[in-house]
A and B are shown apart, each in its own frame.
Chain A
């Protein structure tokens, strides 16, 4: 599943071709485009709007700011914060920091991957979960930890991690019914 870069994802995106709505982007561009060195801030705001960085949005930013599109892709693929693909309803940030590593983050990752049948960076077929390994969440004394949509789950064991995911899936199903997500 390893790829050298995300270019194949870009091709996928091109094939999908659902044009993005730029109306929310213009106020951001108006605010930042005159200020030199604002590309990262623009991309951060754009990701807040769309949940990821669609190709046509990056092209639009290029057009409006005058920064060349390859430079924008270069920045977007350099920093780990930026995503080129949509994420699932629940974003799992699994901490792989040193303290978590020493306290068994590897086993937690195995359990999560086995439970959801995805690996780091992937989204489940039902678009419910996305797994992202992160370098450190800074909760080292509560390790191992994972954060799901902003909520931290601390002192995990493989079984505890599986249960958390099953509970989320169950509650989501109860609230929204099948196939809603």
Chain B
């Protein structure tokens, strides 16, 4: 018997540590303290905290949204097989949503204890590198990746074999292999979950990459905002070293390899390869012109190969199951599976891993359970600040690199933020421009000043000060920012504006011409009114109004004087009869 508590960042945020304490003390009372373990995120974040109970035959029962006071119930179930009175078991429909997925990069997350290397080893851990070292030449290793069709999971989707081959061809030594764990896209947390839940798979992926290109040193660049991921990586590296899986002469093959961690210091632009290298060298993370590419001149001007966390996590699986097995999943041009972070106005938010080619509708409705409160879906945002908003009408688009790019968005690292009708699309564009404006490194004028000017125009529109010609000005600025920026940050920064203009132009026009926000979200454009048939004259709104803009006698209809109203929304929030409407 074994009790496993999900303690990824999301589980801990939902209260998993308190649950863990309660279970520990309950087990201690019954002298079973050694039957509890920890694991990473299994993807169903909306059900956290999650506790799995395994019986002696390995059958698993999952308890969800666990509260600390259920500890006794769960331990009773685990030890005595007594059906729980309070504790909630995972529902069949949630199990069904899991079965629609295909876990490759997430194969171990939520199952193994990430702080115990033996858990990884029993699931064929470090078998892939052993196979590569014993049976394959570096060129054969690269060839297998070519067969798999694996493309970079960080955003751009560049073929992995091509990058490896470019670094392999370089004569200069030493070479470096870098894992890009600077997951800066707000609304994406795939890489964090992989690092927290299955750190060894990333390390093993780096070892294979190192062997392929001829590097003996790996660097894990991880955001400082992910302290738990860094801690678990440190533990994993220590354990791998103590077992001789990192260090000199690995598996007696003569191949030396070791890795170290570099904590990033918070800059979105450091996801860009040349900026990341500058940051590794202790400088401001500012991109430089390519070529030379990092494969030619990277870290300390030596050949350097950079791949994303999820890319590395896929790699051991490919050698264990064959490149062809990976290529059999997905679409002709986008092979394998991809992890997405589903969030926003969605019922079942969390991590999902699906074969490429499923439609957005299948992901959002069949796996994600649909829209919160059964409202109408409006759009899904993909690719973060570099991506765009895909409208509901295009939800039958298959999820693969080419199809998503055709819509104007990008696959990106895998953030999928779902929006319903209450989300203002101009506000959404403003949100992303605010982000890129802050994160622009300042090197290129078009990016530094252009994003600021675009933000000013968007702010003006959402505040009801929009003018005729603003849309055209935004389009012109977008083009200039894209053309005049050195790196992808500036090159893609206007995408959120362009896609919302493409699909939701009428919302911009309503803001500018009618001074109305169709989503009723932009404060300055709202008009509060009291509905005659619902107002009971209870006076609560009038008492709470900070500017005394509401008049009316007790038990009589109340009226808002628009010239005094500051649109704070207090009346609407205090009314118990839903008699205040924002139009």
A: residues with CB less than 8 A from B are: 36-41, 43-44, 71, 74-75, 78-82, 96-99, 101-103, 134-143, 145, 152, 154
Encoded as 1 (CB less than 8 Å from any A CB) or 0, chain B from 1 to 35 comes to 00000000110111000000000000000000000
List, sorted by A's number, 21 A–B pairs whose CB atoms are closer than 8 Å: A37-B280, A40-B263, A41-B263, A44-B224, A74-B284, A78-B284, A80-B267, A81-B266, A98-B384, A98-B415, A102-B344, A102-B417, A102-B428, A135-B268, A136-B188, A136-B189, A139-B45, A140-B349, A143-B344, A152-B13, A154-B13
Q: Which of B9, B48, B282 is in CB contact (< 8 Å) with A138? A: B9
The answer to whether B281 touches A139 (Cβ under 8 A) is no
The answer to whether A99 touches B343 (Cβ under 8 A) is yes
The answer to whether A40 touches B186 (Cβ under 8 A) is no
Interface residues of B in 37-56 (CB under 8 A from A): 45-46, 48
The answer to whether B345 touches A102 (Cβ under 8 A) is yes
A39, A78, A143, most chain B CB atoms within 10 A:
A78
The residues of A that contact B225 with a CB separation of less than 8 Å are 134, 136-138
Indicate if B431 sits at the interface (CB-CB under 8 A).
yes
Indicate if B184 sits at the interface (CB-CB under 8 A).
yes
Indicate if B394 sits at the interface (CB-CB under 8 A).
no
Instruction: Select from chain A the residue with minimum beta-carbon distance to B227.
Output: A150
The answer to whether A80 touches B186 (Cβ under 8 A) is no
The answer to whether B345 touches A81 (Cβ under 8 A) is no
B13 to chain A, nearest CB (A): 4
The residues of A that contact B9 with a CB separation of less than 8 Å are 137-139
The majority secondary structure among interface residues of chain B is mixed
The answer to whether B343 touches A141 (Cβ under 8 A) is yes
A64 to chain B, nearest CB (A): 14
The answer to whether B284 touches A98 (Cβ under 8 A) is no
Indicate if B435 sits at the interface (CB-CB under 8 A).
yes
The answer to whether A79 touches B415 (Cβ under 8 A) is no
The answer to whether B45 touches A97 (Cβ under 8 A) is no
Indicate if B381 sits at the interface (CB-CB under 8 A).
yes
CA distance A136 to B431 in the complex (A): 13
The residues of B that contact A44 with a CB separation of less than 8 Å are 224, 263, 265
CA distance A142 to B188 in the complex (A): 13
The answer to whether B284 touches A135 (Cβ under 8 A) is no
Indicate if B341 sits at the interface (CB-CB under 8 A).
yes
The residues of A that contact B342 with a CB separation of less than 8 Å are 141
The answer to whether B226 touches A138 (Cβ under 8 A) is yes
Encoded as 1 (CB less than 8 Å from any A CB) or 0, chain B from 184 to 196 comes to 1111110010000
B: residues with CB less than 8 A from A are: 9-10, 12-14, 45-46, 48, 183-189, 192, 224-226, 262-268, 279-285, 300, 341-345, 349-350, 381, 384, 415, 417-419, 423, 428, 431-432, 435, 439, 441
The residues of A that contact B265 with a CB separation of less than 8 Å are 40, 43-44, 79-82
Q: Which of B10, B183, B280 is in CB contact (< 8 Å) with A139? A: B10
B568 to chain A, nearest CB (A): 9
CA distance A54 to B414 in the complex (A): 39
The residues of A that contact B224 with a CB separation of less than 8 Å are 44, 81
Known: A40-B262, A98-B432, A99-B343; 14 extra A-B contacts, CB below 8 A, are A36-B300, A44-B265, A79-B285, A98-B384, A98-B431, A102-B343, A137-B225, A138-B226, A140-B349, A141-B342, A142-B10, A145-B13, A152-B13, A154-B13
Question: 10 tightest A-B contacts by CB?
Answer: A141-B349, A98-B187, A140-B343, A79-B265, A97-B186, A99-B343, A39-B282, A141-B45, A152-B13, A80-B266
CA distance A44 to B184 in the complex (A): 19
The residues of B that contact A36 with a CB separation of less than 8 Å are 281-282, 300
Q: Which of A78, A135, A152 is in CB contact (< 8 Å) with B435? A: A135
CA distance A41 to B415 in the complex (A): 29
The answer to whether B263 touches A78 (Cβ under 8 A) is no
A127 to chain B, nearest CB (A): 24
The residues of A that contact B439 with a CB separation of less than 8 Å are 135
The answer to whether B285 touches A78 (Cβ under 8 A) is yes
The answer to whether B282 touches A75 (Cβ under 8 A) is yes
B573 to chain A, nearest CB (A): 8
A44, A74, A98, A145, most chain B CB atoms within 10 A:
A98
The answer to whether B417 touches A98 (Cβ under 8 A) is yes
B126 to chain A, nearest CB (A): 28
The residues of A that contact B185 with a CB separation of less than 8 Å are 136
The answer to whether B186 touches A135 (Cβ under 8 A) is yes
Q: Which of A74, A99, A135, A142 is in CB contact (< 8 Å) with B184? A: A135
The residues of B that contact A141 with a CB separation of less than 8 Å are 10, 45-46, 48, 342-343, 349-350
A153 to chain B, nearest CB (A): 9
The residues of A that contact B188 with a CB separation of less than 8 Å are 136, 140
The answer to whether A142 touches B45 (Cβ under 8 A) is yes
B224, B265, B284, most chain A CB atoms within 10 A:
B265
A39, A41, A138, A142, most chain B CB atoms within 10 A:
A138
The residues of A that contact B183 with a CB separation of less than 8 Å are 138
CA distance A147 to B428 in the complex (A): 24
A39, A79, A134, A145, most chain B CB atoms within 10 A:
A79
Instruction: Select from chain A the residue with minimum beta-carbon distance to B285.
Output: A78
A85 to chain B, nearest CB (A): 16
CA distance A138 to B10 in the complex (A): 8
A31 to chain B, nearest CB (A): 14
CA distance A74 to B441 in the complex (A): 12
The answer to whether A98 touches B343 (Cβ under 8 A) is yes
CA distance A71 to B279 in the complex (A): 13
A142 to chain B, nearest CB (A): 6
CA distance A139 to B225 in the complex (A): 12
CA distance A139 to B381 in the complex (A): 17
With A37-B281, A81-B265 as given contacts, are A98 and B349 in contact (CB-CB < 8 Å)? no
CA distance A152 to B323 in the complex (A): 41
The residues of B that contact A79 with a CB separation of less than 8 Å are 264-267, 285
CA distance A149 to B384 in the complex (A): 27
CA distance A6 to B264 in the complex (A): 21
The residues of A that contact B431 with a CB separation of less than 8 Å are 98, 101
Instruction: Select from chain A the residue with minimum beta-carbon distance to B385.
Output: A98
CA distance A171 to B266 in the complex (A): 32
The residues of A that contact B267 with a CB separation of less than 8 Å are 78-80
